[in-house]
Structure 1
Amino acid sequence: MKTNKVFLLTAVLSAHLSFAQFAKIVDKDGYVNLRETGDAKSKIIGKINSDEIVYVFEPDQANQNWLNVDYNEKTGGYIHSSRVKYIESYEVIPPMVRDENKAVFKSGNIKVDILTRKFNYKENKKFFSTSDYNGQKIEDQYKGQLIWGTDGTIPQTQYQSITVQIGDQKIKIPNKEIENLFNVNNEMTNCYFDRKNDTLYITMLNSDGAGGYVALFRIVKGEYKDRVLKMPF
């Protein structure tokens, strides 16, 4: 029953996020202006360099060519749609297996293996730290990092490993980059490859229902580059 409930909540969240998605900034000037509203005459409130990753929400209601984007915790605003390349528009690396224990993606000489496992809270309780929210103690950090995927609940699952094989190159995403990501949903994981720039993207939508988050991992020219984590609403 619990599994069905989580699946239903994830499905609802997925429907809500039918447009929202990751995108890369692409601008011949090397950067794009971030504006306060969806208008070319609006105040410039920041700049985002080309190749940086943003999370795109729905277009401006008054002008569909302007997108509401989130860049980091302090930077959000509007950019023109001509300045982004959606990650899902790149070549899809299809899934071979996607279940509660693993996800495997393969195309040609590219293979992605994602292993997950049940989370043992009793053994790992010592790695949690708490903060005070209105007089209530909340576990909000795991091994010194912000917890993703829970809403005050005990984590049920976590990533065990994520490895990528591109030709004869094998890349493992560092444990530090995945150990604080919980309640994994492999069914909502996808892989895309930008052949022109030799860049592999792995995207996820994970949730326990209320504690939803999206993640993107980037492998560039055979080396792990970075991750991007967002609250998708």
Structure 2
Amino acid sequence: MNLKVLLLNLLPFFIYAQEDIYSFALVQDVEGFVNVRSDPSIKNNVQDTIATGRVVWCYEKKGDWYYVDYDKKGNSHDGYIHRSRLKLINSFEKIPVHKESKDQIVFRKDSLVITLSKKSFVAAENNLQYATNSGTKYLAKINSKRIWGTDGNVPRTQYKFIEIVSGQRMITIPSAEIADLYEPTLYNTKVFCDRANNTIYISVLNGDGAGGYVGLFVVKNGFYHSRMITIGT
């Protein structure tokens, strides 16, 4: 097993042992944006800005600075943001697990119920697109989309649905938003609630070996809002 595979296999341990580092976070600043810097200091080193309310993934900490990954215009970027400008998602109210089985997990508190379900992946029902690298054939895309969760292998499982019931309202994560996410590990899911801003965050940690990834689904004011997916390290 190479070092990359080993680290990704150990990713759940690192994330849950050091949640002040491995966490999604909200960008927060009264000016409406924060500076992203090329190194952890206040110098002439601003390389980008991110709007308040955007989500970033924190995967390294140096003093009072987080090294973060974030999406912008469809591309992945990284850099340093001061911790005073970030609100860690796992600092919000945690919704406990109500029940779980092999293929489903349910979180519940009061009238808030979140259910994630998975199913077997059926290759015959999908368009598998292969590529070759150095003479080795690997699965490159499924249904013309990037694959999250495997390292060039055919997936075994995928999400069936993700549903949120809040009082009398049901919200379903659109199927297109989960169709490219494979090998869900349901017991690694965590749910947080920001009641002050009527926002629910569903944090997932999925994949096998070198195909590991983390994701965050955001439901705001009773509607699905957005997602962020990244490799996690």
TM over 0.5: yes
Tell me, in whole angstroms, the C-alpha distance in 2 between the residues paired with 1:9 and 1:220: 34
Cα offset for 1:135?
4.6
Tell me, in whole angstroms, the C-alpha distance in 2 between the residues paired with 1:10 and 1:117: 23
Cα offset for 1:9?
8.4
Q: What residue ranges of structure 2 are gaps of 5+ in the alignment?
A: 1-5
Is 1:22–2:24 an aligned residue pair? yes
The two structures, once aligned, show a CA RMSD in angstroms of 1.8
The answer to whether the Cα contact below 8 Å between 1:117 and 1:157 also exists between their aligned partners in 2 is yes
Tell me, in whole angstroms, the C-alpha distance in 2 between the residues paired with 1:97 and 1:148: 26
Deviations 1:157-212 (A, max 9, x none): 11101111111111111111111111111110011000111000001000212210
Tell me, in whole angstroms, the C-alpha distance in 1 between the residues paired with 2:76 and 2:132: 23
Give the match for residue 101 of structure 2.
99
Deviations 1:115-171 (A, max 9, x none): 1112122x23x4222334345443222222211000122211111011111111111
Is 1:127–2:127 an aligned residue pair? yes
Give the match for residue 88 of structure 1.
90
TM-score for both structures, normalised by structure 1? 0.89
Is 1:167–2:162 an aligned residue pair? no
TM-score for both structures, normalised by structure 2? 0.89
Q: Residue type matched to 1:45 in 2?
A: Q
Counterpart of 2:61 (choices 59, 72, 78) is 59
Give the match for residue 45 of structure 2.
43
Tell me, in whole angstroms, the C-alpha distance in 2 between the residues paired with 1:133 and 1:151: 13
Q: Residue type matched to 2:12 in 1?
A: S
Q: Percent identity?
A: 33
Q: Residue type matched to 2:115 in 1?
A: D
Deviations 1:2-59 (A, max 9, x none): xxxxxx9876221233331100001111100000100011411000001100000111
